[in-house]
Amino acid sequence: MPGASSDSIAATCRTAAHSGALRHLARLLTSRRITLHAALLGVCLWSLYAADLATPGLRDRVGQIKGADFLHFYTAGYLVRTRLLQPLYDPAALAAFQKALVPQSTGTYFVASYGPQVYLPFSVLARLPYAWAALAWALLNCVLYLACCYAVWLYCPRLRPHALVMFLLALAFPGFFNLIAFGQTSGPALALFTLAFLALRSRRHFLAGLAIGSLIYKPQLGLAAAVIFLLAAEWKVVAGALAAAAAQLSFAWAWFGTAVMQQYLRSLLRTGQALPFIEPKLYQLHCLRGFWLLLLPWRNLAAVLYGLSAAVILVLSVICWRSRATLNLRFAALLLATVLVAPHLMVYDLVILAPAFLLLGEWSMEHTQADALRIFLYLAFALPLLAPLAKFTHLQLSVISLAALQALVWLAARHEQSDNHNASQAAEA
């Protein structure tokens, strides 16, 4: 039939044009250009940050307390060190104690939403003056982050000749920059995901589970992993995760006592009421829930769409994990799902994607036809910088790029599984 033939030819032409455009865009992402982009971005971010902090006292140039969220951990650590635990989960009492401890922090207040065991390591830093403690925490996060990047990079042989560009990209990664700028606790979460990856590579599934279960200190980051490993019937990983979570909570209960743990549990139950305080700037959220809340004025509809889209991401991730694709692809899918599905994921939590970017970069260099994946990998890396625009557009572009990247990883896993299956059949023949 002539009509069907012309339609087929038109579709083929559109596909060819689409592939040609992707190939052209991917070719623009040369090693030299990426090196230049990373260097410029790193210089801009860190020089502006240094200029912002170059003021006398504890306030930066825009009037914010230096160290940002670290102030909360410093205050809580001081309470733990001095065993004055009563104000910890009382917002008014915590604010009064913080003001007395760091008088220049007036006007900046927090709600304690972590388990008391999280604040125990900060009791050591609380022995220092606030400015020195904030600097020490920033340096610890830097060491932890670079060590994790290096550990994953060692398993990426195609990236090893590009050590300079990898280092520049690591420094320029918006997730890392915001981790340091906010003084947050996502660095240990990155370390736990990195340990899980290394354990899975060596087929130590129970050890990987111990690392995943230790995320109970930041439970929203363990939600996707819990669903994926349960539905994929990874029982050793699940057993390790349950053991680690139970051990951490049992330790907290034994160390701090029943009264403190009851206060913590009550604070968890009040999380819904505290969300407007915890999330004053929705454009700083980089997850599906934040995406729909920003886009739609109806919170109930946003919640429904969040549930549906999160379910789609989890289904794709489970399919990836149960496939015969390489661990690099499957673990990248796990990390992308962790970010997208988490009900509360701030810009500094994006630091956990560092291993995913390395693993997908390695995979894309091995597969020369991965043009779309390279493009969205670049976009997912850079678009968090445009988050403030979402205040006006109500469209969080980083979430769109991460969701598209997850879909591309799913397609790559399907193709890889098909290739492996065909290779097995050929070998048997």
Question: Which position has the higher pLDDT, 55 or 195?
Answer: 195
The residue-averaged pLDDT of 51-56 equals: 91
3-state secondary structure of 114: coil
Cβ atoms of 406 and 317 within 8 Å: the answer is: yes
Q: Is the model's pLDDT at 371 over the cut of 90?
A: no
- Tell me, what's the pLDDT at 6? 46
Mean pLDDT for 149-154 is 96
Per-residue pLDDT band at 370 (split at 50, 70, 90): confident
Looking at residue 420, what is its pLDDT?
A: 59
Percent of the chain whose pLDDT exceeds 70: 89
The model's pLDDT over 282-325, given as tens digits with 9 standing for 90+, comes to 889 999 999 999 999 899 999 999 999 999 999 999 999 998 88
Query: Which range (6-15, 57-66, 126-135, 167-176) has the least confidence?
Result: 6-15
Stretch among 64-73, 102-111, 124-133 having the lowest mean pLDDT:
102-111
CA distance 74 to 66: 12
Q: What is the pLDDT of residue 8?
A: 47
Q: Residue for token digits 């190939």?
A: 23
Residue 368 has a pLDDT of: 66
**Res 246: pLDDT:** 96
Give the CA distances from residue 354 to residues 165, 256, 333, in Å, rounded to whole numbers and listed in that order.
14, 34, 13
Alpha helices in 323-396 (DSSP H): 327-341, 354-366, 371-382, 390-393
Neighbours of 341 (CB within 10 A): 25
Query: What are the residue ranges spanned by the domains of the chain?
Result: 43-415
Q: Distance between CA 153 and CA 325 in Å, rounded?
A: 19
* pLDDT (tens digit per residue) in 383-414: 999 999 999 999 999 999 999 999 999 998 88
Residue tagged 């008391």 (tokens): 116
In the prediction, which pLDDT does 14 show?
A: 46
For 3-12, 84-93, 101-110, 158-167, which range has the lowest pLDDT when averaged over its residues?
A: 3-12
Joined tokens for residue 200: 């899975």
| Ordered DSSP codes for 224-248 | HHHHHHHHTT-HHHHHHHHHHHHHH
Give 2's pLDDT tier (boundaries 50, 70, 90). very low
**Is residue 4 packed enough to be buried (19+ CB in 10 Å), middle (13-18) or exposed (0-12)?**
exposed
| CA 5 to each of CA 14, 17, 19: distance values in angstroms, whole numbers, following the listed order | 14, 18, 21
In the predicted structure, residue 219 carries a pLDDT above the cut 70: yes
Lowest mean pLDDT among 51-55, 145-149, 197-201: 51-55
Q: What is the mean pLDDT of residues 344-362?
A: 95
Q: Give the pLDDT confidence score for residue 87 in this predicted structure.
A: 87
SS3 221: helix
- DSSP β-bridge partners for residue 65: 59
d(CA 266, CA 259): 11
Q: How far apart are CA 271 and CA 382, in angstroms?
A: 31
Q: What integer is the mean pLDDT of 231-241?
A: 96
pLDDT at 167 over 80: yes
Asked if pLDDT for residue 379 goes beyond 80, the answer is: yes
Kindly indicate the confidence band of residue 254, based on its pLDDT and cuts at 50, 70 and 90.
very high
Mean pLDDT, range 93-107, rounded to an integer? 88
At 9 the pLDDT is 39
Q: pTM for this one? A: 0.90
Model confidence at 5: pLDDT above 70: no
3-class SS of residue 277: helix
Residue 60: pLDDT band by 50, 70, 90 thresholds?
Answer: confident
Q: Summarize the confidence of residues 79-105 as an average pLDDT.
A: 89
Please tell me the predicted confidence (pLDDT) of residue 421. 53
- As a whole number, the mean pLDDT across the chain is 88
Residue 28 reports pLDDT greater than 80? no
**Residues 77-100: what's their mean pLDDT?**
90
Residue 429 has pLDDT above 70, yes or no: no
> Is 90 a residue whose pLDDT tops 90?
no
